[in-house]
Amino acid sequence: MDSNNISPKYGVIGAGSFGIAVANLLAQNGDVLLYVRSEDQKSEINTKHTLKSYTMDERVVATNDLKEIADECYLLFPILPSDNFVEMLEELAPYLRPSHVLIHGTKGLYTPKKITIDVSLKKEEVYTMSELITIKTGVLRVGCLAGPNLASELAENQPAATVIASSFNEVIEMGQQALKSSRFQVYGSNELLGVELAGVLKNYIAIASGMLTGLGYGENARALLITRGMAELIFIAKALGASEKAFLGLAGIGDLIATCNSPKSRNYRVGLMLAEGKKLDEIIESIGEVAEGVKTLQIVRALQKYGYRAPLAEILYKIVYENLPIKKGIDFLMRFTADKDAEYIMS
């Protein structure tokens, strides 16, 4: 493993739609090892250069050996659901060295506690993925990847941009060098916690946006949702120790706009199908990939003792988990007023 190798090799862990998209983006600048669990997936990628409905760049080679990916690649991109993140880190940790760099692309939070309707969480019981990396491994140089990055559009090579956030400028520079291309811009930020929370929290706003579409509401209602949703997310982030800065960039308002306006967003589709009368278990099975906003709702609600205002999260929780009729929930939200516009900046 040589970080000065003229032909770099990057590692991606996770073969969901976003992991596939990131692997193809990285392949424009170097060779890529993509970790998959399934032998069938490994064979399909390495022989046919396809996976699911996606075409894989020929520079992407699949492996199901975590030791191989750690030995061959010093820059790793773990991109998999938050529920699987701890297990993956525990399997990967024995093969990692302090020289490794991990930039994750998981827009979720983790808590070891079982979340029930009565549970209350402390901030110390909720972890971002970058915090899990530093806790579970010996790696110090970590970062995250967040922004308006709908995987299906990236697969079509449409123009897009993302943010790499880290406390280490060298991590940002490595990520930019690995990912940037003529069709994909990569910005940097030192607001690691803020960027992670922005990428996570916007998921439940996207669920609400899908509900609006399902009920036949128009763009005025969606603009109201996005704007007031942004205020709510910033109040939560400040209570958890982040600033509003990350929420005013690509990882915040940029990602929020993309996921709240596109049926390509899994969380948006969850809301749409809930409005159509489908049950949550049925929706999750039909989507086939994790919609992180469903779990995020539970965590946000369980953290509310920190005093932030989250009426949208509270109503959505009642709709998703307590069978509150959606129209009743929206009627309640329309009666909820704020004294000032953009008060999260003024406070």
Same fold, 9-190 and 194-346: no
Neighbours of 3 (CB within 10 A): 11
pLDDT in tens, the chain (347 residues): 444 545 689 999 999 999 999 999 999 999 999 999 999 999 999 999 999 889 999 999 999 999 999 999 999 999 999 999 999 999 999 999 999 999 999 999 999 988 877 778 888 999 999 999 999 999 999 999 999 999 999 999 999 999 999 999 999 999 999 999 999 999 999 999 999 999 999 999 999 999 999 999 999 999 999 999 999 999 999 999 999 999 999 999 999 999 999 999 999 999 999 999 999 889 988 887 778 888 999 999 888 776 677 889 999 999 988 989 988 888 887 776 566 665 655 54
H/E/C letters for each residue in the chain?
CCCCCCCCEEEEECCCHHHHHHHHHHCCCCEEEEECCCHHHHHHHHHHCEECCEECCCCEEEECCHHHHHHHCCEEEECCCHHHHHHHHHHHHHHCCCCCEEEECCCCCECCCCCCCCCCCCHHHCECHHHHHHHHCCCCEEEEEECCCCHHHHHCCCCEEEEEECCCHHHHHHHHHHHCECCEEEEEECCHHHHHHHHHHHHHHHHHHHHHHHHCCCHHHHHHHHHHHHHHHHHHHHHCCCCCHHHHCHHHHHHHHHHHHCCCCHHHHHHHHHHCCCCHHHHHHHHCCCCCHHHHHHHHHHCHHHCCCCHHHHHHHHHHHHCCCHHHHHHHHHHCCCCCCCHHHHC
**Domain ranges (residues) in the chain:** 9-190, 194-346
pTM above 0.75, yes or no: yes
9-190 has which CATH code?
Answer: 3.40.50.720
- Give the model's pLDDT for residue 190: 97
- Give the model's pLDDT for residue 340: 63
Residues annotated catalytic, as ranges? 202
- Give the model's pLDDT for residue 281: 87
194-346 adopts what CATH topology? N-(1-d-carboxylethyl)-l-norvaline Dehydrogenase; domain 2 (1.10.1040)
- Give the model's pLDDT for residue 2: 45
- Give the model's pLDDT for residue 339: 62
